[in-house]
Amino acid sequence: MKKFLNDPVDFVDEMLEGIYAAHPMVTYANDDLRCLVTAKPKAGKVGLTTGGGSGHLPTFLGFVGDGMLDGAAVGGVFQSPSAEQMYQVTKAVDQGAGVLYIYGNYSGDIINFDMAAELADLDGIAVKQVVGNDDVASSIVGEEHKRRGVAGIFFIYKAAGAAAAEGLSLDDVARVADKARSRTRTMGVALSSCVVPEIGHTTFSIGEDEMEIGMGIHGEPGISRKKLAAADAVVDEMMERIFKETSYAAGEEVAVLINGLGGTPLEELYILFRRVKQLLDARSVKAKHVWIGEFATSMEMAGASISILHLDAELDRMMAAPANTPFFKHVTG
């Protein structure tokens, strides 16, 4: 294991100390570093919170700020935060208009967010939940409720954040977030494993000349392992599965997210986008909003994912809205 760290036990908390030192727009609640919240809550606005394991920056912590989330609870690397931590974040971000939970479809997170919502209810805080499940490789059509939430959750954050900034009600913010969820599809590919600091060795093995299509962000099995192919062929295989699930009519528009998993050079991500745009152009579908970079990583895993959000007029407006967070800034005009 080659990493810049001190004691592996302190990895998450020292990372958080660095974030707070670098970004005064965020702070923490209940004297707990792992309960990150905005330093400038806006009165009367619906609160937006997320959470999950560390090891995925910018998800979850990096999207707390203006025009996006208001709080995030995190656990150890690839470990869910506790219900109490989620509850403390909920209390800190509630401004009287209720709180929306947005998180990935993982059993530990579901259990703990449900418990946090029950605690919030006892305090009279209205809570709604939207669970990201964009990973098409993790379950078949008709059983989308079993799918994992991966990088496409960014689109839910962006849509919900813009809706809340517009002053919409909790019901309407949840509706917009759920629409973004239902219209997002993601496919990923992994080229290497990663190392959890407290474990000290790779979490799985993959050959130097192999790739795994559909692997999850914690190393969950994908749908096929094969020899590494040329970039265009890899994108073609990934996009084929996305196209099978969503009918894009000529003239329609999408948002595209090309996400690096932590160990992939930006240059390679742009090569992937080049092919994605060629495939969209061939169907006369416009890539109106495009983001390329690291949005949901898996430590130093080499690999990437492609997320496509099928836009309508409302979601187009939400994607275009300004945002300012430690790890994501979107300027309009």
Known catalytic residues are: 56, 218
CA distance 332 to 279: 27
CB neighbours (10 Å) of residue 92?
21
Residue pair 306/187 in contact by the 8 Å Cβ criterion: yes
| Residues contacting residue 78 through CB under 8 Å, at least 6 positions apart | 53, 54, 55, 196, 218
CA distance 120 to 109: 16
Omega before residue 327 within 30° of 0, cis = no
Residue pair 46/168 in contact by the 8 Å Cβ criterion: yes
Tokens at 62, concatenated: 């990096």
CA distance 195 to 300: 7
CA distance 259 to 262: 9
Q: How far is CA 90 from CA 63, 173, 310, in A?
A: 16, 16, 30
CA distance 285 to 41: 38
CA distance 135 to 325: 25
Half-sphere exposure in the Cβ direction for 309 (13 Å, CA) = 33
